[in-house]
Amino acid sequence: MTATAPAPAPSPGKTGGKADERLLRTSLLRKLLGRPELGAVVGALAVFVFFSFAADSFLRTASLSTVLYAASTIGIMAVPVALLMIGGEFDLSAGVLVTSSALTSSMVSYQLTANIWVGVLVSLLVTLAIGVFNGFLLTRAQLPSFIITLGTFLMLTGLNLGLTKLISGTVSTKSISDMEGFESARQVFASQITIGDVNFKITILWWLALVAVATWILLRTRAGNWIFAVGGNKDAARAVGVPVMKTKIGLYMGVAFAAWVSGQHLLFSFNEVQSGEGVGNELIYIIAAVIGGCLITGGYGSAIGSAFGAFIFGMTGKGIVYAEWDADWYKFFLGAMLLLATLLNHWVRKRAEATK
């Protein structure tokens, strides 16, 4: 805290930084209750304890690494999707955009017989352009993002399959593992880090970095203030001079960037990409964000919450396997988790707002 507080001339009486005497000292519990991610943290703890008892192998470090990996692949996308939701919009094309991004880098490199990095960079540009397209169409047409991105979702699904078949003759791309630059790209997007005798996937680092950056943007930058504002009350934001259009386009570009990271991970883990993949994942990202405390109508939420949401997904998905149950239960658990988390979030927010 610096001493540069402006302290305007006629500041009567008790301005200083001291807390107001009418404000009873907020208990730590109450402060926690005011956080959007509380529901997800409680949920994650509950799921963790549950599977610790239900599955013997759940608590091993190797299992932890697997769970974290599963969580990270969802979490990387859930972060920008959460930001977008705070900004009041959806992106139904996020799932297939990941596949589009992977297909683009693979096919561009293969068809041009160029260094893999050429394809990777072209893919970044193409993916960002699709993000801009979504955002631009949304702000220009003034239609709900549900409709706009449903359109791009269908178009991309068709393009992924159609173009891949047209270019490669099959529904998957050719293996690119023997091409120049593959090893270095794999280091960046799909390598493993060994700590002790456990391997951790590098996506976990990408995930944590994205959560950190997104949290910083949301809470400590002007852009973050604008994201909350355009989601909370677009017209009020516009009236005080917030660049609503730029903010929304930026959010869609964030989703596109994460889709690019996920897509490259997909490509460099498996060398080839199935062009039909990704359909349905967009809902998983949205659910992770909602479990993480994002208000579906915008204006409220957090990036850290989305990380806990993704973590719940990872634990449930892998926990059911470790408990040796039928995998069909996965969906049931997620549905229940979504309802519980949303109800809890709703209740918490009402209390937090009422008790002030």
Pattern 173-212, binding to other proteins, x per CB under 8 A? Answer: ----------------------------------------
Q: Which of 94, 242, 259, 307 binds other proteins (CB under 8 A)?
A: 242
Quick one: which segment of 68-76, 183-191, 236-244, 247-255 binds other proteins (CB under 8 A)? 236-244
Quick one: which segment of 100-108, 226-234, 315-323, 331-339 binds other proteins (CB under 8 A)? 226-234
**125-154 binders of other proteins (CB under 8 A):** none
Q: Which of 57, 191, 199, 233 binds other proteins (CB under 8 A)?
A: 233
Q: Which of 59, 129, 147, 236 binds other proteins (CB under 8 A)?
A: 236
Q: Could you tell me the smallest distance in angstroms from the CB atom of residue 82 to other proteins? A: 15
166 binds other proteins (CB under 8 A): no
Q: What are phi and psi of 242, to 5 degrees?
A: -75, 130
Residue (11 or 52) nearer to other proteins, CB: 11
The span from the CA of 339 to the CA of 330, in Å, is: 14
351 binds other proteins (CB under 8 A): no
**Which DSSP symbol is given to 356?**
-
Q: Which of 61, 175, 184, 221 binds other proteins (CB under 8 A)?
A: 221
- Residue pair 69/204 in contact by the 8 Å Cβ criterion: yes
Residue (154 or 213) nearer to other proteins, CB: 213
- Phi-psi map region of 293: left, alpha, beta (phi>0 left; psi -120 to 50 alpha): left
- Residue pair 139/248 in contact by the 8 Å Cβ criterion: yes
**1-40 binders of other proteins (CB under 8 A):** 1-2, 4-12, 15, 17, 20, 22-23
DSSP string, 26-91: PPHHHHHHTSTTHHHHHHHHHHHHHHHHH-GGGGSHHHHHHHHHHHHHHHHHHHHHHHHHHTT---
Q: Could you tell me the smallest distance in angstroms from the CB atom of residue 20 to other proteins? A: 5
Task: Find, among 161, 144, 148, 146, the residue nearest to 96 by Cα.
Answer: 161
Size of the site for other proteins (CB under 8 A): 41
**Which DSSP symbol is given to 24?**
P
Q: Which of 151, 181, 232, 276 binds other proteins (CB under 8 A)?
A: 232
**256-295 binders of other proteins (CB under 8 A):** 295
- At 297 the three-state DSSP class reads coil
| Distance set, CA 181 to CA 118, 122, 203, 269 (Å) | 9, 14, 19, 14
Angle at CA 100, nearest 5°, toward 97 and 105?
Answer: 130
Residue (2 or 194) nearer to other proteins, CB: 2
Q: Which helix (H) or strand (E) holds 102?
A: helix 94-112
Residue (327 or 354) nearer to other proteins, CB: 354
> What count of other Cβ atoms lies within 10 Å of the Cβ of residue 322?
19
241 binds other proteins (CB under 8 A): yes
| Rg value, the chain, Cα | 22
Environment class of 315 (CB within 10 Å of its CB; exposed 0-12, middle 13-18, buried 19+): buried
Residues that bind other proteins (CB under 8 A): 1-2, 4-12, 15, 17, 20, 22-23, 216, 220-222, 224-226, 228-229, 232-233, 235-242, 295, 299-300, 353-354, 356
